[in-house]
Structure 1
């Protein structure tokens, strides 16, 4: 209720069960001044980066004098400013494993490295482009090539003033693709009044905020790109996570989904999905849980992935369809794309097991760090080989009813590949990030698509530990660091550069110390990778026209309780046992 504070205590989160918590109501937050800062023009030089420890690289870098930094040491650890800058940077793609480094003290303490960081990392490029509502550069513009005429906007496009940061990353072994990718993200995002929460006094930060009108617009833009055919979109709900958001998709006619966990599967089924693929190679108790859900929701067409004949056998007599998972070069799961004989044998094994073969699953997320033209060429080359595999399976007497491709990075590549329109199968794309968008996807997708951020993290400034550092309360337990550093963009504050976070702290370097945000000021953060960021929160504030309309549970956050059936019932929490004895 407006003006009335909630008296309900905030309870700690326990183990996830199969039920949901009731919604809570909240009050409406204070007006703060719209952040306005002058924007310095991007100046670009080209230089050869460090050899030896950082590996040989060649990149584009921001002019050294902009932050009064020495240019002669391209291999320095603290690229973002003097000796106290961020020490780590992302690898080449989202959703391929954590490659950024966290649990750092903001650049003043000893360096720490993530366990799976397998090579030295070094930023060798900075801001190279600038983008506005009325002037959309081509990818060539961002690397110093001649520009082309801006493409016309179709549909509502938010007013935005964007810069793109390219990260050329020196690494060894992390990505085994033959193509060396570049990771890029927005470096700034201009303030838009639609994001203001008018009364933040009662908001505990950090807080996840979602904007339903912008979610609706992003859904509309996606359907427009799919010629209005919602059946072409097998939306991945790893991003949406909320019953509320999945319900919005269902309400617009999107009834086919994919997911990665049994909890996401359960949420999709409960939210009105008609067809859900669990796009993960589940085995053991996880596979038995999928069988349970398939029996519970017999009206939903549930499918799973396999990549070998042993996995096929575990699904005998189950109410599930089977997709063959193809490895397009990401090297995390699937049958090698070139191993057509093995693929044919597995499809035959599915039929012999009395199971329904649904088609091929092909996620080519490894191209997300490539410039648009390179990404399209690489993706289309993979699609050519994928169609060859379809022909091989058909030639062996099998059929391929459906082919699933493309997360958010290669969504445009799949849209303009003619072979899918004439393939004799149902082709579906499976982007999920585009529902909310983030600093990476907005850099990857063409501006004329009309996407805008629909989820931000509210944070408060809590400290001024140094003249040019401000710290807010959005560490990596709030804004995910899995895609690297910086973890986010501070909306409306181009002069604030996020440094390496620790668990609860996010230091920000201020390029204008006298104008740094005061302690207590609320900042709006656009995550670099929104999917795991949403997963960090139990609840989300639903904001309409600046007012908090409701508090929605992040229903598919985390995982289900770890024990099945009777095993779960026989294991009471130890505290309860002690209390009753």
Structure 2
């Protein structure tokens, strides 16, 4: 898909303060529909809400029959449940006070099944004790490390199947399957990604067989992210749940890296020129506090109007561009920028302005941008 943006009517654009997150509703809905088409059915989709963190977007999913969701924080879990999700995976190993927070959340939303991941016996037993004491049941997925080496147990780790089997033996817990996240698979060519997934999959199936031999069931695999979404979506194992996240809003990072993905940027940042310190320099109000700073300096946004501008200085409140086109701009002029990484960008704003047909039509709260809502 292209990396252009829809038009915002000039009079509407001038109303918006900057910096400001905007979402193009038609693009968003198109991305949701494309995700559903790729997954083939709502039951095969467990989208990750960390990209947008918005109650209103969860509601759009629920209206489309997508009731299973994936989250990275307790606040995101709470947001999903409050928006009507009936099955939420806390794709994080709960430790410390977050164990009690998750258990309390399960008690407050009995209509929603909560799951968590595990890769170690100690917090698993603590989760069991807390859940049993509260009279709730928490589903547990084994966090399976297929090469990213961030969390989890490899399929060959001694005791991996036994740890998963322990789940069915502990009170307050139930076996829910495996999380298989492969964020390291970022090959630009789709066929290369398919081959990489196919190579790692027999290891996962072998671990499932080992767990089943011990007496446990492995009802689901929560698989991959956005880059490997089409790989898992094309596989026939009925236990597979696809877990894309970034594709909901998309961004220029994924748009450039994975041109095969059928998603277009649905989010952008409104920014203004605040200074012209030299003939070939222009400074925008799009500092590190307005756009994700985890991409390398100099490559944190794409400005469609100035695609070749050099992003020279990026400090807390300023982004300095070096471009021969600078003379065309004066302080107060407005531009749109596409984040390279939209997920941490959305968390920098308390609300998004919704654009439809070039006009401002709504304002959506970024519900779970903070670490706590109620629980």
Using structure 2 for the length normalisation, give the TM-score: 0.92
Runs of 4+ more than 6 Å apart? none
1:458 counterpart residue number: 270
Structure 1 unaligned segments of length 5 or more: list them: 1-156, 161-188, 565-581
1:370, distance to aligned residue in structure 2 (A): 5.0
Q: Does structure 2 retain, via aligned residues, the 8 Å contact 1:379–1:413? A: yes
Is 1:510 the equivalent of 2:323? Answer: yes
Aligned with 2:56 (options 232, 237, 244): 244
1:353 counterpart residue number: 170
Distance 1:272 1:457 in 2: 29
1:493 counterpart residue number: 306
Q: Does structure 2 retain, via aligned residues, the 8 Å contact 1:241–1:554? A: yes
Distance 2:252 2:143 in 1: 29
Distance 2:359 2:348 in 1: 23
2:109 counterpart residue number: 297
1:213, distance to aligned residue in structure 2 (A): 1.5
1:185 counterpart residue number: none
CA 1:408–1:214 in structure 2 vs 1: closer, same or farther (change >3 Å)?
A: same
Matches within 5 A, 1:368-447: 368=186, 370-416=188-234, 418=235, 421-422=236-237, 425-447=238-260
1:376, distance to aligned residue in structure 2 (A): 2.9
Distance 1:491 1:251 in 2: 33
Aligned with 1:204 (options 11, 14, 17): 17
1:174 counterpart residue number: none
Distance 1:536 1:522 in 2: 20
Matches within 5 A, 1:96-111: none
Q: Deviations over 1:243-283 (max 9, x none)?
A: 11111111111110010111101100100001000001111
Report which structure shows greater RCO (CA 8 Å, sep ≥6): 2
Secondary structure at the counterpart of residue 548 of structure 1: strand
1:319, distance to aligned residue in structure 2 (A): 2.2
Distance 1:432 1:191 in 2: 20
Q: Does structure 2 retain, via aligned residues, the 8 Å contact 1:190–1:493? A: no
Is 1:320 the equivalent of 2:138? Answer: yes
Q: Deviations over 1:207-229 (max 9, x none)?
A: 010122211110111111122x0
Distance 1:191 1:313 in 2: 49
Q: Does structure 2 retain, via aligned residues, the 8 Å contact 1:190–1:492? A: no
Is 1:338 the equivalent of 2:150? Answer: no
1:500, distance to aligned residue in structure 2 (A): 4.4
1:379, distance to aligned residue in structure 2 (A): 2.4
Matches within 5 A, 1:13-412: 160=2, 189-190=3-4, 192-193=6-7, 195-196=8-9, 198-227=11-40, 229-316=41-128, 317=132, 318-339=136-157, 341-354=158-171, 355-368=173-186, 370-412=188-230
Secondary structure at the counterpart of residue 463 of structure 1: strand
Secondary structure at the counterpart of residue 358 of structure 1: strand
CA 1:531–1:296 in structure 2 vs 1: closer, same or farther (change >3 Å)?
A: same
1:9 counterpart residue number: none
Q: Which shows bigger deviation, 485-494 or 474-483? A: 485-494
1:521 counterpart residue number: 333
Distance 1:513 1:197 in 2: 20
Distance 1:260 1:350 in 2: 21
Q: Does structure 1 retain, via aligned residues, the 8 Å contact 2:250–2:267? A: yes
Distance 2:350 2:69 in 1: 22
Structure 2 unaligned segments of length 5 or more: list them: none
1:534, distance to aligned residue in structure 2 (A): 0.2
Using structure 1 for the length normalisation, give the TM-score: 0.60
Higher helix share: 2
CA 1:366–1:298 in structure 2 vs 1: closer, same or farther (change >3 Å)?
A: same
CA 1:440–1:428 in structure 2 vs 1: closer, same or farther (change >3 Å)?
A: same
Computing the radius of gyration from Cα coordinates, the structure with the larger value is 1
Secondary structure at the counterpart of residue 556 of structure 1: coil
Secondary structure at the counterpart of residue 12 of structure 2: coil
Secondary structure at the counterpart of residue 202 of structure 2: helix
Is 1:481 the equivalent of 2:293? Answer: yes
User: What is the aligned-residue RMSD (CA, Å)?
Assistant: 1.9
Count residues with an aligned counterpart. Answer: 367
Q: Deviations over 1:362-395 (max 9, x none)?
A: 1100122554443332222122211221122223
Distance 1:360 1:462 in 2: 50
Distance 2:192 2:225 in 1: 17
